[in-house]
Amino acid sequence: MAEIQAFKAVRPERAKAGLVASRSYEDYSEGELTAQLEYNPYSFLHIINPGYKFQHRIKGEQRFQMVKNRYLEFREENIFIQDEKPCFYIYRIETRENSYCGIIAAASAEDYEKNVIKRHEDTIAHREILFKDYLKVVGFNTEPVLLTYKDNSVINNLMAEVQGDRPEYEFATYNKETHKLWKIENAKVIEQIKAEFGKMDCLYIADGHHRCASSYLLAEESKKNNPEHTGKEPYNFFMSYLISESNLKIYEFSRLITDLNGHSKEEFLILLDEWFRIENRGYDAYTPSKKHHFNMYLDGEFYSLYLRKTNYEFTDSLSKLDPYILYQKILKPVLGIEDLRNDKRISYVHGKNDLIEIKTRIDKGEFAVGFGMLPLGIEEIKQIAEENLTMPPKSTYIEPKLRSGLTIYEF
């Protein structure tokens, strides 16, 4: 059964929340990043980019320690405050297209070990260890792991009741999003929510596999180093954002390849013909409408590719996934791309960006061919997790993407 805990979040005082909150570091252009660091002294980016204070790029353990130093400065200056008693936090994001609402809580590292928290992606060992070492030095979580669960009417009703009150935070951002956060500090409501999650057989990782794995490694290491370990210490948990399945938005990733692996256009199409029924769509931007249908942009023209199901054998849930089919029948055997994470010949464009970007980048000569497909459904993702399988890298782009710095979990 899934275990979650309320916790005493460290967070910005109300007036500064919109100034503190930041997008993911990688999401900023160089110009945006410089402007934020230069003109916004409250931005959480000062904590995760601590070398800016000294105009120096810092790496490794020195950076970890300086992240902690900048964080402590925010605490000392009362930019960050800490709640006096454990709470859950409802975090709502309203974008131009969608609205997302979930609960920020502490999830159990032991549940990850016991497969109560189920995963669908492989993690890379050295990245797990690196982030575990980072967490050990800084002593806090700032980015919740995105966990999803089957829709629950009791939880929905409790959340709706809390949202009838004035939010603790309410601010808008430059990309026309509205962010709201409510504290749940009523002990009865907290216990009701905990009880509902306690009835659930499992939770599923939607986003944050490496963060989850690293938090588990830290819990195991801390347990070994603590002779008085009880299982209730803060290091036994990690910050999570719990959101119902129906409230997630799942996009696909398109694949862009720099060259045809030495094949001419004609040779390439003939090789694809073994596994796909190919139709040249010319200048009509074809978008797949069914599973196992793909779009392709090559040499100024769009193509539809339909899997020849009489040739292809479905053996398990993984074999049915379109990203896996594309990898097994085109990317690996024809284009020679085996390592989807590290091969420099492949790049990815998430499905929020339409075919125009793919066409533009290929027409510019940056890439030779691009492939698109339908996004995966939540049931496909869950089935992969249930069968202890792992999807190819960049199979899903999942929203919401949360702002950093609004709630921090110390351990």
Mean pLDDT by 10 residues, the chain (411 residues): 97 97 89 92 94 75 93 97 98 95 98 96 90 96 96 98 97 94 98 98 96 97 96 97 97 96 98 98 93 97 96 95 98 97 93 83 97 96 96 94 96 95
Q: Please name the residue that has the structure tokens 């990815």.
A: 348
Is 152 in contact with 203 (CB distance < 8 Å)?
no
Token digits for 309?
């199901």
Q: Please name the residue that has the structure tokens 């999650």.
A: 197
CA-CA distance, 167 to 146, in Å (whole number)? Answer: 22
Dihedral of alpha carbons 373, 374, 378, 384, sign:
negative
Nearest to 322 by CA among 263, 268, 371: 371
Please tell me the predicted confidence (pLDDT) of residue 51: 81
For 103, how many CA atoms within 13 A lie in the half-sphere containing its CB? 29
Helices vs. strands in the chain: H and E counts, helices first: 13, 21
CB contact set of 279 (below 8 Å; sequence gap of 6+) = 303, 304, 306
Phi-psi region of 364 (alpha: psi -120 to 50; beta: other; left: phi over 0): alpha
Please tell me the predicted confidence (pLDDT) of residue 353: 66
Question: Strand pairing of 145-149 and 301-307?
Answer: unpaired
Q: What is the model's pTM?
A: 0.93
For the beta carbon of residue 267, count every other beta carbon within 10 angstroms: 13
What one-letter code names the amino acid at 183?
Answer: K
Strands of 155-292 (E only): list them. Answer: 169-172, 178-184, 203-207, 237-244, 249-251, 253-257, 276-282
Q: Please name the residue that has the structure tokens 């792992």.
A: 390
Please tell me the predicted confidence (pLDDT) of residue 334: 98
**Ranges of each domain in the chain:** 4-250+399-410, 253-374
Helices 187-198 and 153-162: crossing angle in degrees, nearest 10, is 160
Instruction: Show the CA angle centred on residue 234, arms to residues 184 and 105, nearest 5°.
Output: 30
Is 334 in contact with 267 (CB distance < 8 Å)?
no
**Cα–Cα distance list, 381 to 80, 176, 203, 320, 373 (Å):** 37, 30, 12, 11, 16
Nearest to 327 by CA among 391, 247, 234: 391
CA-CA distance, 396 to 281, in Å (whole number)? Answer: 26
Token digits for 92?
């709502």
Strands of 249-365 (E only): list them. Answer: 249-251, 253-257, 276-282, 293-298, 301-307, 346-350
The alpha-helical segments, DSSP class H, found in 3-151 are 17-20, 30-39, 45-48, 60-76, 109-113, 125-138
End-to-end CA distance of the chain: 23
Helix (H, G, I), strand (E, B) or coil at 280: strand
Give the DSSP letter of residue 141: E
Please tell me the predicted confidence (pLDDT) of residue 57: 75
Is 389 in contact with 326 (CB distance < 8 Å)?
no
Helix (H, G, I), strand (E, B) or coil at 128: helix
